[in-house]
Amino acid sequence: MQMRTLGGNLQVSAIGLGCMGLSYGYGPATDRGEAIKLIRAAVERGVTFFDTAEAYGPGLNEEVVGEALEPFKGQVVIATKFGFKDGRPASGLDSRPERVRQVADEALSRLRVETIDLYYQHRVDPAVPIEDVAGTVGDLITEGKVKHFSLSEAGADTIRRAHAVQPVTALQSEYSLWWREPEKEVIPTLEELGIGFVPFAPLGKGFLTGKLDTNISFAKDDFRSTVPRFQPEALKANQTLVDLVTSIAADKGATPAQIALAWLLAQKPFIVPIPGTTKLHRLEENLGGATVELTAADLARIADALSGFKPQGERYAASHQRFVNR
């Protein structure tokens, strides 16, 4: 597995593993033993970067990740997050300094580590100045409880303000062929400041794999059931993007998922996507994206097609919009 660097000095595998879906968001939690086997299979295949959060459970995902990776201490990088009341997104935001500290202490226990490698503010809290948040995490770094400070779904101004207080190692936000908003202001800001970028949902929450039927019906406990972009009319309107990726994949002897990941890796050397899965064959497929080389002609073909493409449907339900891009 190729390696990349976040924030100047944090080396991780070029593709990480987003662990959320093992216990949260996409239906019933994966059997704990099976989830642990999948995470360890990722390590065996060269993955060194694993993403979790207090809110994925709450707490359950961190416990699974902690148990799975305990034998690999010092060999892997674990990222986790704070920022929601009681670890539940439905309860609202909470980045008060005392809460930031409490979540760190609880995460250390659940992850079975002495230091959190990468500690994200899960969503920007408008009730707490970002300078206070950055300062609190800076104190945790001084105390040895955290190694690196990071943000998620933050806007360019917030990133600059936080970075001025405590250097930001990485930003995690949605970015894919299906959602390119970060290209406007966020990615140039990250490049200027030397901050890494960790795209979540790099496969469009499954859409870019080409495996979703346009008439698919999601279970009630699958969050995509409430997302406008996954309603039948939007899926049909966005199918042209899947058709493009599928065509390029056929030409390259790859899969659509691998093309989507290879495209992300080709954008900037500081980009490290974290696709998630619950299946070993999908894990292996995703990791294969790091070996697909897109030529200048391939990238130009994609860019030309994207220039005339506008995604249909909001990426979140209205109730969730307040949490993003602050």
3-class SS at 123? coil
Please indicate whether residue 56 is annotated as part of the active site.
yes
How long, in residues, is the chain?
326
Cα(190)–Cα(209) distance, rounded to whole angstroms? 28
Q: Of the residues 56, 119, 120, 175, which is catalytic?
A: 56
The answer to whether 88 and 130 have CB atoms below 8 angstroms apart is no
φ and ψ of 25, to 5 deg: 95, -35
Contact 191, 270 (CB under 8 A): yes
Burial of 9 (0-12, 13-18, 19+ CB in 10 A): exposed
Alpha helices in the chain (DSSP H): 32-44, 60-69, 97-111, 130-142, 156-165, 186-193, 232-252, 256-267, 280-287, 296-307
Work out whether strand 17-18 and strand 10-13 pair parallel, antiparallel, or are unpaired: unpaired
| Amino acid identity, position 135 | G
Count of CB atoms situated within 10 Å of the CB of 195: 24
DSSP assignment of 200-211, as one string?
ESTTGGGGGGT-
Residues noted as catalytic: 56
